[in-house]
Amino acid sequence: MDLEVKEVSVKIDENLILDQISFVAEPGRVLAVMGPSGSGKTTLLKTIAGLLEFEGDVLLGDKNLKLVPTRKRNMGMVTQDLALFPHQTIWENISYPLKIRGLKIDERNKKTKNIIDKFGLPGLENKLPQEVSGGEQQRTAIARAMIYKPQALLLDEPFGQLDTILRYDLLEWLKKVLAEENMIVIFVTHNQREAKFIGDNILFINKGQAIFNGPFAELEKSENGLMKEFLRKDI
């Protein structure tokens, strides 16, 4: 089922951050969200996740999520700072969403082991997040967001703090992982190379409005002055 954001507006401290933004994200495809700093990219993800009040509608299939609490929206989110629990091991971090959903320990352990193996993290189960590399922390955060099979995965510049080589190694890995899933993925980035590599479609937003939604090749051909300048700067 599609995720439709329909004429959504968000005000924070009386400032209009999202201004009647509308778009559709499809399962099995990555929607990469780009735009200048302060354009509303992170606010958009928080709104979809249910962390902010808004006007308009967020629809998942035929269900309107406006009155659905965050914990019941079945969405996984990875923030820029990853928000891993520093006092919990890699195993405990990844399995935490299953624990709070009340899964029995045998099923929890099976799912956690499977995703640790799939994400290339075996041998790190008993380490704390600060004891593993930046790339391993990123994999841990994404594993935690995906372990309960969310209908939508919201990624807010998850690799922005990494050096270029490691970033693209992880992008390649993530693209392979997502190819095996049929979930909605919204990937926020300020980097056009990331967007071009990972995105099936590009959503370009400015001042909280969607001004482009389509393939990256069409974005490059656009005569819109703001987008042309944005792409020139990010080379």
Domains contained in the chain, CATH given? 3-74+151-233 (3.40.50.300), 86-149 (no CATH)
Which pLDDT score, from 0 to 100, does residue 182 have?
A: 87
Segments of the chain scoring below 70 in pLDDT: 234-235
CA–CA gap between residue 119 and residue 96 (Å, rounded) = 16
The pLDDT tens digits for 116-134 are 999 999 999 999 999 999 9
Phi, psi of 230 (to 5 degrees): -60, -45
* pLDDT score, position 232: 75
**Measured between alpha carbons, how far is residue 205 from residues 44, 51, 69, 83, 180 in Å?**
10, 20, 26, 26, 28
Question: Which tokens hold the place of 208?
Answer: 């909280």
Question: Are 11 and 30 within 8 A, CB to CB?
Answer: no
Q: Specify the amino acid at residue 40.
A: G
Q: Note the pLDDT of residue 234.
A: 61
Average predicted confidence (pLDDT) for the chain: 91
